């Protein structure tokens, strides 16, 4: 899990009990921006991997898969065997 995911959960929980301060709102926006960038990076790599597979470019696909695995490790996801 990325730190921003933990912090978003903390802020979301606080928001259920009270209004967030301006600083907390800014922090939530930052966390959401980081999360969105992470998700779009992953989606882009997955689409590139599909394209590499469709064009039989296995060297490129392996390179992309290494990048996907690196992102997954940031989330604590174990690579598939």
Is residue 73 predicted with pLDDT exceeding 90? no
CA atoms within 13 A on the CB side of 46: 8
pLDDT digits (tens, 9 = 90+) for 9-33: 999 999 999 999 999 999 999 999 9
Is residue 65 predicted with pLDDT exceeding 90? yes
pTM: 0.77
Where is 68: in which H helix or E strand? helix 58-75
pLDDT digits (tens, 9 = 90+) for 40-63: 999 999 999 999 999 999 999 999
Token output for 28: 């939530």
Cα–Cα distance for residue pair 73/75, rounded to 1 Å: 5
Cα–Cα distance for residue pair 19/43, rounded to 1 Å: 33
């Amino acid at each position: 899990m990325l730190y921003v995911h933990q912090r978003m959960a903390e802020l979301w929980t606080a928001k259920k009990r009270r209004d967030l301060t301006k600083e907390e709102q800014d922090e939530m926006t930052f966390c959401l921006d980081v999360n969105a960038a992470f998700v779009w990076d992953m989606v882009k790599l997955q689409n590139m991997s599909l394209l590499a597979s469709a064009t039989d470019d296995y060297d490129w696909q392996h390179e992309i898969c290494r990048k996907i695995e690196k992102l997954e490790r940031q989330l604590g996801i174990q690579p598939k065997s």
